[in-house]
């Protein structure tokens, strides 16, 4: 499977006719599959379906969207809820319209936010990446390679707050070291992950150069181990295998492009990949 094919798979929202726009307080905030919308209407959610829009009404939005989570759980669309709520907002940092359980976000097509950090070191002028292997007990893509630090941004958190928290939990990286990380932009995608869901994610990216004394250690049990791999191995893995978590392959490719390692000379679809990363 090519890198381009992986990125196309993460941007596969081509069946918009099966979805209603999710509208709240006159704002378009997401997309709801028509079957999900009809299920919620039958369950007496304060909402209407008009003009191909699913319009959520009511004044206590956190309570209303908590009810939506309960309904989806009861109807077995959602298997389990999480202990984390995600914000619904125009842009991260602006006022939240409401927050909702992380498990519900993709059923509402609301934009989700995350942070991904790539820690790398140079050995004899060659770049190596600190690459963790996800726990075999993870429900989502177990035993896949991940980015050094990666996680969602919760309701009420800033980007840096989430980065500090995830860096400590996943790799035992101190706040002082993380402060040296460089913010290098974002990547976004619109992914039809499951039959009735749409993941609209934006990932805030950071690069952190570390010396050879750096040794990451997972504290939260979500990772099996860390490996320090040469960039050439990382490229081969995202190019020829499915051993990386899907969105992490996108982040790795972005890193390699920034460092001038993934180029038009070693990737036939370089121009298209750059377009997809930057669009």
Give how many domains the chain has, as a whole number.
Answer: 2
As a whole number of angstroms, the distance between CA 12 and CA 190 comes to: 7
pLDDT band, residue 156 (cuts 50/70/90): very high
- Nearest to residue 202, comparing CAs of 96, 42, 99, 89? 89
Q: Which residue has the tokens 């180029």?
A: 263
CATH number at residue 258: 3.90.79.10
Same domain, yes or no, for 154 and 263?
yes
- Nearest to residue 201, comparing CAs of 212, 190, 210? 190
Tokens matching residue 40: 């919620």
As a whole number of angstroms, the distance between CA 109 and CA 178 comes to: 31
As a whole number of angstroms, the distance between CA 7 and CA 272 comes to: 10
In a 13 Å sphere around the CA of 227, the CA atoms on its Cβ side amount to 11
pLDDT digits (tens, 9 = 90+) for 87-101: 999 899 898 999 999
As beta bridge partners, residue 27 has 24
Q: Give the residue numbers spanning the domain of 35.
A: 16-111
- Could you say which DSSP state residue 107 is in? H
Look at residue 1 and tell me whether its pLDDT is greater than 70: no
**What global pTM score does this model have?**
0.95
The C-alpha angle with vertex 157 and arms to 250 and 72, in degrees rounded to 5, equals 75
Domain closes at, from 56, 90, 111:
111
- Nearest to residue 279, comparing CAs of 1, 6, 8? 8
Same domain, yes or no, for 95 and 122?
no
CB within 8 Å of 19: residues ≥ 6 apart = 31, 32, 33, 34, 109, 198
Same domain, yes or no, for 85 and 215?
no
Q: Which strand (E) or helix (H) includes residue 224?
A: strand 223-230
**Contact at 8 Å (CB) between 48 and 37?**
no
pLDDT digits (tens, 9 = 90+) for 202-218: 999 999 999 999 999 98
Same domain, yes or no, for 212 and 253?
yes
Coil, helix or strand for 118?
strand
Tokens matching residue 8: 């196309």
Domain closes at, from 94, 111, 128:
111
pLDDT digits (tens, 9 = 90+) for 88-146: 998 998 989 999 999 999 999 999 999 999 999 999 999 999 999 998 888 888 999 99
Same domain, yes or no, for 161 and 101?
no
Share of the chain above pLDDT 70, in %: 100
β-bridge pairing 126-134 and 111-123: antiparallel
Q: By 3-state DSSP, what share of the chain in percent is helix, strand and coil, each rounded to 5?
A: 30, 30, 35
Look at residue 39 and tell me whether its pLDDT is greater than 70: yes
């Amino acid at each position: 499977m090519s890198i381009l094919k992986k990125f196309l798979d993460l941007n596969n929202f081509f069946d918009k006719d099966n979805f209603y726009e999710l509208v709240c307080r006159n704002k378009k905030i997401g997309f709801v599959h028509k079957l999900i919308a009809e299920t919620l209407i039958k369950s007496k959610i304060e909402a209407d379906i008009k003009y191909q829009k699913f319009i959520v009404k009511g004044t206590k939005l956190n309570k209303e969207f908590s009810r939506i989570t309960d309904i989806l759980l009861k109807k077995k669309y959602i298997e389990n809820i999480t202990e984390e709520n995600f914000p619904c907002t125009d842009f991260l940092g602006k006022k939240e319209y409401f927050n909702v359980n992380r498990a519900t976000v993709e059923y509402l097509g609301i934009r989700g936010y995350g942070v991904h950090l790539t820690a790398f070191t140079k050995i004899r002028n060659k770049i190596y990446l600190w690459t963790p292997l996800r726990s075999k007990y993870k429900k989502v893509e177990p035993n896949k390679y991940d980015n050094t630090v990666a996680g969602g941004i919760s309701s009420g958190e800033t980007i840096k707050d989430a980065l500090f928290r995830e860096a400590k939990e996943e790799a035992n990286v101190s706040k002082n070291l993380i402060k040296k990380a460089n913010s290098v932009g974002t990547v976004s995608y619109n992914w039809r992950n499951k039959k009735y869901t749409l993941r609209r994610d934006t990932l805030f990216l950071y690069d952190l150069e570390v010396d050879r004394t750096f040794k990451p250690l997972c504290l939260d049990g979500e990772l099996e181990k860390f490996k320090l791999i040469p960039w050439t191995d990382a490229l081969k893995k995202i190019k020829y295998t499915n051993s990386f978590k899907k969105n992490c392959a996108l982040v790795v490719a972005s890193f390699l492009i920034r460092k001038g390692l993934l180029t038009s000379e070693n990737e036939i679809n370089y121009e298209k990949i750059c377009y997809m990363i930057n669009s």
